Structure 1
Amino acid sequence: MNKILVSACLLGEKVRYDGNCQRQHHIKLAVWQQQGRIISICPEVSGGLSIPREPAEMQTDGRIITQQRIDVTNEFISGANKALLLCKKYQIRYALLKESSPSCGSNSVYDGTFSGQKIEGMGVTAKLLQAHGIKVFSEQQINELSGLLE
């Protein structure tokens, strides 16, 4: 049975920058949890960032900067590498990650201006996983992911 890497915040873990979660109440997530298929991670926390933490956004040059202009790129890269190691360890081919995050966004990220505007793009973790052949989905694509798993 294929394991799935899932953003911890989507599973109700309070790991987001603001100390909250983005729990998804989708029947498929509940089924996958019961089946023991889910491997959970928050790349930002795994990379060494605290909960809560200052909001961070990806800049046009690829660096991740907090609202107070602190460069946290290395922490994001470290977390992405830890996510990739989990995928290799458990032979994971699919990831369900939080959309718009500078780590996990698979279709969009915030534009780096802290204005709430989103642009097309991928977060650090999503990009690394995809580069290693892992298919990345957002929480809006759970049904699509489910179709591939069945």
Structure 2
Amino acid sequence: MKRILVSSCLLGAPVRYDGRAKTLAGPLLDLWRREGRIVPLCPEMAAGLPVPRAPAEIAPGVTALQVLSGQGQVLTDGGEDVTAPFVRAAELALQAARAHDCAFALLTDGSPSCGSLFVHTGEHDGTRRPGRGLAAEMLERHGIRVFAPSRITELAAALRAAP
């Protein structure tokens, strides 16, 4: 049975940088819970980042792949370099997905770790840009398909089509 790595905040855990959840509910999640497919994980918490924590964004003009390659940074709104724990978070997400045979991930969008469709610009002004967070990039680079909550029906179709 293929499993799905799911951002803990989407499952109601108050693990986001601001100490809140970003709960997603619905029949698909209920079904996947009953089937035992869900593997909850907050990559940032797994890497030891506290809750609450300073908001962090991938530096302006830098991609997640560049950060993972050592050519960019993740910075807090106060300018603190938090690249190392975010890279570790991505590594731990991949380890968890592999350990639990996850072929897919459902990750909250906009996060410097979990964003799959967009991340913030790095200016800490609330604006967004297309791109992936570090964990989403790491998972995709290793064959684990990542979906944002807005694409949950596409995830369901991919899950049904999976061998």
Where on the TM-score scale, by shorter chain, does this alignment land: which range? over 0.9
Distance in 2 separating the partners of 1:24 and 1:90: 22
Please report the RMSD computed on the Cα atoms of aligned residues, expressed in angstroms: 0.8
Q: Helix, strand or coil for the counterpart of 2:84?
A: helix
Q: Percent identity?
A: 42
Structure 2 counterpart of 1:12, which letter? G
Q: 2:108 aligns with which of 72, 93, 98?
A: 98
Distance in 1 separating the partners of 2:143 and 2:95: 13
Counterpart residue number, 2:142: 132
Distance in 1 separating the partners of 2:158 and 2:141: 19
TM-score (norm 1): 0.97
Q: Helix, strand or coil for the counterpart of 1:75?
A: helix
Cα shift at 1:26: 1.8
Counterpart residue number, 1:48: 48
Query: Which ranges in structure 2 are unaligned for 5 or more consecutive residues?
Result: 63-71
Structure 1 residue ranges (4+ consecutive) displaced by more than 3 angstroms after TM superposition: none
In the comparison of the two structures, how many residue pairs are matched?
150
Confirm whether residue 2 of structure 1 aligns to residue 12 of structure 2. Answer: no
Q: Note the 1:69-80 alignment, pairs <5 A.
A: 69-80=79-90
Query: Which ranges in structure 1 are unaligned for 5 or more consecutive residues?
Result: none
Confirm whether residue 84 of structure 1 aligns to residue 94 of structure 2. Answer: yes
Distance in 1 separating the partners of 2:98 and 2:2: 12
Counterpart residue number, 2:133: 123
TM-score (norm 2): 0.89
Distance in 2 separating the partners of 1:2 and 1:89: 12
Counterpart residue number, 2:122: 112
- For each residue in 1:15-56, what CA deviation from the matched residue of structure 2 results, as whole angstroms up to 9, or x when unmatched? 000000000012101111121110011111111110000100
Cα shift at 1:130: 0.4
Counterpart residue number, 1:24: 24
